[in-house]
């Protein structure tokens, strides 16, 4: 890889700024607090912010990337975005004391791609899609193929060589592997359309079971391939926007040069099932995840789905450590019914950042209600603000939300 000298200097300068934060005492303390939360003893409710509207946050050009090499431009973006978060909205974020390098992994996928129609008029970059149903007949299930996983070892060697030339003396480097998204119903919804999924769950449940069986078998093969290649990730210390620091994972004896899925986290969800009964979750999600989740060291479960009415069903799936309490869940009911072996992973509503005016009192009341519900029922709590579509081009709303969250969680510390 031929890296321009000015790009090398840019990356070294960014890595230097990044490492100054990664090595400070605050970062070490945040890591300790996450480790304590994940290992069973919460010292304070923990907060993270992710999936933010970067297009509205570049107030002074600090997010403008200049590196020309496509691979290291991605590394540059990672450094710039993490520095930005640390300087403006850190709450309980942790910076790893090394630069992460994505491994050059190829994945052929399940053989299907979403087909959709877009509306004729669009007001912004976030648009609804009408998905085309690609599963009209039972035999269409055969369209689902077994993913083929591979890694370009020569490319990886070139990346490492270039990275050492760029970062040596400033920052260590580590390779970032694969973390598996196990939310099958996200894919199915894009291959069929949401309405068609609901209809077929009622009219042709045997076909939907066949889809899940095919996906399960294909995914188990993919996991086997990933593990044989030693490609699972144990270095980023995040899963689905949640920090995963723990004394139990990776387990002692883990080969960090060839980690497997049992050394790390995966994440699952069935967001489509927010609008179906818990019995549908029990029939069409649980039996399949019961076969997949044992292959992982830990599972983060849920996203925007409502789960407070089916926590007993979710509890049947193995290795789940954190469960999402989305804005569509009743927080009090969720906390009352969540077994204390799980972390309550609350998702504060991003809508509070998108109104015509920013109401700090509403933000504070929202956080306090969640903290009170978790405390009442003796639960460990993390709050992850994510899926933020807009801050109305006012970045300081997000910065202020972070400050308020820090104040309220410190106030609730044991």
Q: In this predicted model, what pLDDT tens digit does every residue of 148-197 receive, in sequence order?
A: 999 999 999 999 999 999 999 999 999 999 999 999 999 999 999 999 99
- pLDDT at position 251: 87
Q: Report the C-alpha gap between 231 and 271 in whole angstroms.
A: 27
Q: In this model, does residue 74 exceed pLDDT 70?
A: yes
pLDDT score of 126 more than 90: no
Cα separation of 23 and 58, whole Å?
A: 25
Decide if 147 contacts 216 (C-beta within 8 A). no
pLDDT in tens, 373-395: 999 999 999 999 999 999 999 99
What Cα–Cα distance (Å) separates residue 197 from each residue in 68, 113, 116, 186?
43, 16, 15, 11
> Residue 414: what pLDDT?
63
Of residues 213 and 125, more confidently modeled: 213
What pLDDT does 121 receive?
63
Directed axis angle between helix 395-411 and helix 70-88, to 10°? 60
The predicted structure's pLDDT at residue 128: 81
Tens digits of per-residue pLDDT, 36-68?
999 999 999 999 999 999 999 998 899 999 999
Instruction: With CA atoms as reference, report the closest residue to 60 among 80, 75, 39.
Output: 80
pTM summary value: 0.96
Residue 293: name the closest of 258, 270, 266 by CA.
266
Contact between 75 and 101 under an 8 Å Cβ cutoff? The reply is yes
| Gap between the Cα atoms of 230 and 303, Å rounded | 28
* Structural Rg of the chain based on CA atoms: 22
CA nearest to 262, candidates 213, 301, 212, 224 = 224
Give the orientation angle of helix 184-192 with respect to helix 205-229, to 10 degrees: 130
Q: Are 379 and 344 in contact (CB under 8 A)?
A: yes
């Amino acid at each position: 890889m031929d890296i321009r000298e000015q790009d090398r200097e840019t990356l070294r300068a960014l890595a230097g700024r990044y490492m100054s934060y990664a090595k400070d005492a605050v970062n070490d303390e945040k890591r300790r607090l996450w480790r304590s939360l994940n290992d069973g003893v919460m010292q304070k409710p923990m907060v993270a912010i992710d999936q933010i509207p970067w297009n509205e946050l570049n107030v002074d050009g600090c997010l403008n990337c200049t590196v020309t090499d496509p691979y290291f431009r991605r590394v540059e973006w990672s450094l710039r975005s993490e520095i930005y978060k640390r300087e403006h909205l850190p709450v309980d974020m942790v910076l790893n004391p090394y630069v992460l390098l994505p491994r050059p992994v190829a994945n052929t996928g399940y053989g299907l791609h979403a087909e959709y129609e877009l509306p004729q008029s669009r007001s912004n970059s976030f648009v609804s899609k009408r998905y085309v149903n690609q599963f009209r007949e039972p035999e269409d299930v055969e369209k689902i193929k077994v993913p083929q996983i591979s890694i370009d070892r020569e490319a990886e060697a070139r990346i490492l060589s270039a990275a050492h030339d760029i970062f040596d003396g400033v920052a260590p480097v580590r390779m970032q592997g694969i973390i598996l998204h196990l939310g099958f119903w996200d894919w199915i919804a894009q291959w069929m359309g949401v309405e068609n999924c609901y209809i077929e769950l009622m009219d042709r449940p045997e076909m939907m079971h066949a889809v899940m069986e095919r996906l399960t078998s294909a995914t188990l093969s993919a996991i086997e391939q990933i593990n044989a290649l030693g490609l699972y990730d144990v270095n980023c210390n995040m899963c689905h926007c949640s920090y995963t620091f723990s004394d139990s994972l990776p387990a002692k004896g883990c080969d960090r040069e060839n980690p497997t899925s049992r050394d790390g986290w995966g994440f699952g969800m069935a967001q489509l099932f927010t609008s179906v009964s818990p019995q549908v979750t029990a029939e069409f999600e649980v039996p399949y995840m019961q076969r997949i989740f044992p292959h992982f060291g830990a599972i983060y479960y849920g996203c925007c789905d409502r789960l407070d009415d089916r926590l007993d069903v979710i509890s049947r799936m193995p290795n789940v450590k954190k469960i999402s309490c989305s804005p569509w869940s009743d927080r009090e009911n969720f906390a009352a019914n969540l077994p204390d072996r799980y972390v309550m992973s609350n998702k504060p509503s991003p809508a509070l950042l998108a109104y015509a005016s920013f109401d700090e009192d509403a933000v504070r009341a929202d956080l306090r209600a969640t903290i009170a519900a978790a405390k009442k029922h003796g639960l460990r709590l993390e709050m992850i603000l994510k899926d933020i579509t807009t801050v109305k081009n006012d970045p300081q709303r997000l910065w202020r939300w972070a400050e308020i969250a820090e104040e309220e969680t410190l106030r609730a510390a044991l």
